[in-house]
Amino acid sequence: MFIWFAVMSVVLTFVVFQSPAIDYRLVALGAVLPVAEVPFGNGPLHSLAAPTVVLVVVMLATSGRRLVRRRWLGVPIGMYLHLVLDLSWTRAEVFWWPVTGLGIEWETAPVLDRGIWSVLMDGVAVLIGLWAFRRAGLEDPELRRRFLRSGQLDRSVVRGTGGR
């Protein structure tokens, strides 16, 4: 399921923000971060509180440092997208924690409930990822190196010229 969350969060972030300056690596990291609690079930990382706390920390820690803030905002963006992509909002007790009470019941993670659908979702994400790879012009070794080094896309991708 890592593929589904990592790829789809990056693609959705690009589609929504159309920004070459976001660090898409940190978006992917934020999106897969809640998977760490999957062996235990759905917990605090699948609640609305977790990405909100991370967002507040990023905003406070990067006050007055716009470029650093822009980079680290990728983590809470990815975490919010994980909630959407995992349909976490369908499990109200976990999603609204701690509003629904401080105790948390570690339900089975949705990713484990889906069975073969998880594999199919990863397959779809691979296909979308291949499309995005080409759309971002990452066949070009220079653009690919830049992306791997900075997490950023070339500005021409945003302008719609598909690479350089």
**Of 43 and 128, the one with more pLDDT:** 128
**Mean pLDDT within 68-88:** 93
Instruction: Give a yes or no: residue 164 inside a domain.
Output: no
Inside any domain, residue 58: yes
**Which sign does the torsion angle of CA 16, 47, 94, 34 carry?**
positive
Q: Name the average pLDDT for the chain.
A: 87
Q: Does residue 54 form part of some domain?
A: yes
What lies within 8 Å, CB to CB, of 105 at 6+ separation is 93, 94
Asked if the structure places residue 124 within a domain, the reply is yes
Structural domain harbouring 87? 2-158
Domain assignment present for 86: yes
Q: Output the pTM of the full model.
A: 0.86
Q: Is-contact 111 38, C-beta < 8 A?
A: yes
Give a yes or no: residue 24 inside a domain: yes
Most confident of 18-22, 35-39, 123-127: 123-127
149 burial level (CB within 10 Å; 0-12, 13-18, 19+): exposed
pLDDT in tens, 116-152: 888 899 999 999 999 999 988 899 999 999 999 999 9
Beta bridge partners of 107: 42
In a domain, 163, yes or no: no
**Domain membership flag for residue 31:** yes
Each residue of 24-34: pLDDT tens digit? 999 999 999 99
What average pLDDT score do residues 76-101 get?
87
Indicate the number of domains in the chain: 1
Six-digit token pair at 56?
């507040």
The CA distances from residue 79 to 2, 19, 131, 152, 163, in Å, are 13, 18, 23, 19, 28
pLDDT at 111 over 70: no
